[in-house]
Chains A and B, each alone.
Chain A
């Protein structure tokens, strides 16, 4: 039987009425449901020091005094300058004083007081107070990191505390907080070797720093195809029939060959842009080509030939001696230097900049797997463009020409490194990791500097030597200023940069160059053996570094200490010295204000210091302890003891 619609409605209404009737009138009145009426807050412990933590908890009572769930609690503090409280009820002491910790839920509030005391020296005694000799360097223990008593000397003393992140993953950032009692700001700069007023002037023309900034641009070949590079094909099997260029073994000066000049975008699979390349000069190891489409007013043939001769006589031998012979996939026993508009046509970043030159790994692979390859060992350099017909950043021929030799030795390291990995050493990875690869190329630039200046490594070069005369100034400006400038950018931000960061940023380049130089000096012996071992490794990255120098973390930590203590007349052990360079002497000459560019942080009593440090990074915290005073220091990380990946090295500097 089909029930009509109105019947269902009636049933529903009936049920509602029954329910309403049961809610009131007639019979026993049920008691009101319990509701949260009172919140009680407990903070344990109720007294903490600055930097320490306590736990806040909340309990509830209903209108009848019975326990009831509090529900979701919103925690707040009545005085954030004394204590903060997290969403989970973790109370952190920030400054001395008292604060109310307040819990709010369902319109009710409760609170409890917390007392925060400054890091006290009351617990410091003669037996617990650390007294350091001038120049002493020590690594703090875990207990000393939590609470360190320092000073109590008859004279005032100054220190630098160096938190170092010993993670071998540069991407790992760790936050720490430092607090202190009885520390004051340092009164004067540490005894710098004063600049004699000589400044290392950059050469006229486009600012070389713009070129450096442009190199910083990241490029990734998203579709780079070189999977077949892992075949065991010998270099000789790539000759003749697979060659795109058809460059003969002994090319004739004046002849024109066809080369792919496209080095923008995907260098392996992007469409070829073939240009005529006229042979300008041929020497034993070098062929110089000029793009037939180069704008007028650029390099003369004599100038181009001079580049080739310079590379032949200086750069080629320098790199092959230190890194090994290049591969020879085209069988001509030479490397090509192609001055081409293809470099000019690579888009410049906003603000300008020029590319001094480059090596494209694609050229070491057969066109069967890398269709854009020129199948030969070669480099690409820009052409001068006085009338800005291509790109307004290449107008100065003199500025460009001064970069040629340094660029070639830099890029030649890349070429040797890649070619030997693929065709000589059968390395596991075709390419070295970028940070180490660029570091080695910057070492090549430094080696060129020594060659041209007549100076040598491990002679603690200072300003009086590198600026002794016009020739010395020209040498350092032409061949080493870039390295110094990159190092300067690293020293300005040591906590947020690392020598083994997985990037090719300027600070990374500056740091890894200096770490390699430092490590080679510490290793000793014939440094040619050091560079050859690194370039001819079958591993890459930190594994390669460790095989040659030992543990990269140990090296980096000692090197980080050396950044501050080297050449400070503190008589520190050799492991804390940069044996080749007196940077405190030289860097002020290229720094605004003639100061040493290492960034430091003051630690002043009552002012907590927060630091974020990446793996391999370090901070430099300076403070002074007055005479007959004991200072107390404490380090935490989000209110807890600092994690094991942060080392603290303390140095007495005055």
Chain B
């Protein structure tokens, strides 16, 4: 049979299409403005107990890059990543690198995964920007940190056995 669909039904269909698109985008977080630059290196805390600064150490024998962080929360988190190789994104400036986001990538020669610990039923999972990974047999310490942002290394199917805290659970 041929003929045009009634306008009300066509309108309903269009509305459904719009809603489906909106629902699809609702799950994606609103992107914050992230600068166009990136840098990778090991985080160090330099200075004195009273007067500390965060720097990013690249290749050996090169001058480190000063990190400029605008929130206490990010400053505390990056401090906990001292000694860890991270990827920072933001904007380079004359007085350092203005950090928008950061991700732990490696500890020594071992790659790490950076994410938030969640519970999925009885399973402990690590939620990253690309999805969720079930931790096969996490240490008890990690089981007690649900909600914390951590980095982990070691075999995920039977572990992991090593980890570091980035943002403690609230």
Query: Which residues does A use to contact B, with CB under 8 Å?
Result: 1-3, 5, 7-8, 11, 53, 74, 86-88, 90, 92, 167-176, 215-216, 218-227, 230, 267, 355, 358-362, 414, 428-435, 437-438, 441, 501-504, 509, 540-541, 543, 610, 612, 615, 637-640, 642-643, 645
In the complex the two chains form, is B141's CB within 8 Å of A2's CB? no
A7–B2 Cα distance when bound, in Å, is 11
B-chain residues with CB within 8 Å of residue A509 when the two chains form the complex: 49
Asked if B51 and A267 sit within 8 Å, CB to CB, the answer is yes
B161 touches A174 (CB 8 A): yes
Residues of chain B contacted by A225 (CB below 8 angstroms): 95
Contact status B134-A88, CB under 8 Å:
yes
Nearest A-chain residue to B81, judged by Cβ: A171
Using known A-B contacts A74-B122, A437-B48, determine if residue A53 contacts B83 with beta carbons closer than 8 Å. Answer: no
Is B91 interfacial (CB-CB < 8 Å)?
Answer: no
Q: Are B154 and A433 in contact (CB-based, < 8 A)?
A: no
Residue contact B75 to A638, C-beta cutoff 8 Å? no
B27 within 8 A of A: no
A53 to B51, CA, bound (A): 49
Q: How far is the CB of B78 from chain A (nearest CB, A)?
A: 10
Contact of B157 among A88, A438, A610 (CB under 8 A): A88
Can you name 8 A-B pairs with beta carbons within 8 Å?
A1-B2, A170-B82, A220-B75, A227-B96, A429-B46, A543-B60, A638-B159, A638-B161
In the complex, how many angstroms separate the beta carbon of A114 from the nearest chain B beta carbon?
15
- CB neighbours (8 Å) of B155 from chain A are 640
Contact status B52-A220, CB under 8 Å = yes
Cβ-based interface call for B128 (8 A): no
A residues in contact with B81, CB < 8 Å: 171
Chain B contacts to A: CB under 8 angstroms? 1-6, 8-9, 43-55, 60-64, 66, 68-70, 72, 75-76, 79-84, 94-96, 107-108, 121-124, 134-141, 153-155, 157-165
* Pairwise interchain contact B50-A90, C-beta atoms closer than 8 A: no
Counting chain A CB atoms within 10 Å of each CB, the highest count among B47, B108, B158 belongs to B47
Looking at chain B's contact residues, the main secondary structure is: loop
- Which residue of A87, A88, A219, A227 contacts B51 across the interface (Cβ within 8 Å)? A219
Name the B residues within 8 Å of A218 (CB-CB): 49, 52, 76, 79
Contact A221 B52 (CB under 8 A): yes
Q: CB-CB < 8 A to B54: which residues of A?
A: 220
Q: How far is the CA of A234 from the CA of B72 in the complex (A)?
A: 34
Which B-chain residue is minimally distant from A358 (CB atoms)?
Answer: B50
Q: Are B51 and A169 in contact (CB under 8 A)?
A: no
A167–B153 alpha-carbon span in the complex (Å) = 13
A358 to B51, CA, bound (A): 9
Cβ contacts under 8 Å, B161 to chain A: 174-176, 637-638, 640, 642-643
A170 to B107, alpha carbons, bound, how many Å? 10
Instruction: Check B139 against A175 for contact (C-beta < 8 Å).
Output: yes
Query: Which chain A positions have C-beta within 8 A of B49?
Result: 215-216, 218-219, 434, 438, 504, 509
Interfacial chain A residues near B64, Cβ < 8 Å: 428-429
In the complex, chain A residues whose CB is within 8 Å of the CB of B48: 358-359, 361, 414, 431, 434, 437-438, 441, 504
Instruction: Please name the residue on chain A nearest to B96 by beta carbon.
Output: A227
Contact between chains at A90 and B157 (CB < 8 Å) = yes
Q: How far apart are the CA atoms of A540 and B141 in the complex, in Å?
A: 32
Asked if residues A174 and B162 are in contact (CB atoms below 8 Å), the reply is yes
Contacts of B45 in A (CB 8 A): 433-435, 502-503
Q: Are B137 and A434 neighbours in the complex by a CB distance under 8 Å?
A: no
For A610, the chain B residues whose CB sits under 8 A away are 139-140
Contact of B159 (CB < 8 Å), options: A171, A220, A640:
A640
Please judge, given known A-B contacts A8-B9, A74-B121, A168-B83, whether A360 and B136 are in contact too, CB under 8 Å: no
Q: Could you tell me if B53 and A221 are in contact, using CB atoms closer than 8 angstroms?
A: yes
Q: Known A-B contacts: A175-B162, A503-B82. Give 8 more (CB < 8 A).
A: A87-B122, A90-B136, A90-B157, A172-B162, A176-B161, A218-B49, A361-B51, A435-B45
Q: Establish whether residues A169 and B141, one from each chain, have CB atoms under 8 Å apart when the complex forms.
A: no
- In order of increasing CB-CB distance, the 7 nearest A-B pairs are A502-B82, A3-B3, A175-B139, A504-B49, A87-B123, A88-B136, A169-B83
Complex interface: chain B residues within 8 A of A227 (CB): 66, 94-96
By a CB distance below 8 angstroms, the chain B residues around A645 are: 162
Q: Hey, which chain A residues are within 8 Å of B136, CB to CB?
A: 86-88, 90
**In the complex the two chains form, what is the Cα distance from A358 to B48 in whole Å?**
9
Q: Using CB atoms, name the residue of chain A closest to B52.
A: A220
Bound-complex Cα distance A174 to B153 (A):
9
Contacts of B134 in A (CB 8 A): 87-88
B164 & A431 in contact (Cβ 8 Å cutoff)? no
Across-interface contacts of B1 in A (CB, < 8 A): 3, 7, 11
B91 to chain A, nearest CB (A): 14
A638–B84 touching, CB < 8 Å: no
Complex: A218 Cα to B82 Cα, angstroms:
14
**B48 to A, closest residue via Cβ:** A414
A433 to B134, CA, bound (A): 37
B-chain residues with CB within 8 Å of residue A638 when the two chains form the complex: 137-139, 154, 158-161
In the complex, A152→B165 CA distance in Å? Answer: 43
Contacts of B76 in A (CB 8 A): 218
Instruction: Name which residue of chain A comes closest to B162, CB basis.
Output: A174
Residue from A8, A225, A428, A434 whose CB has the most chain B CB atoms within 10 Å: A434
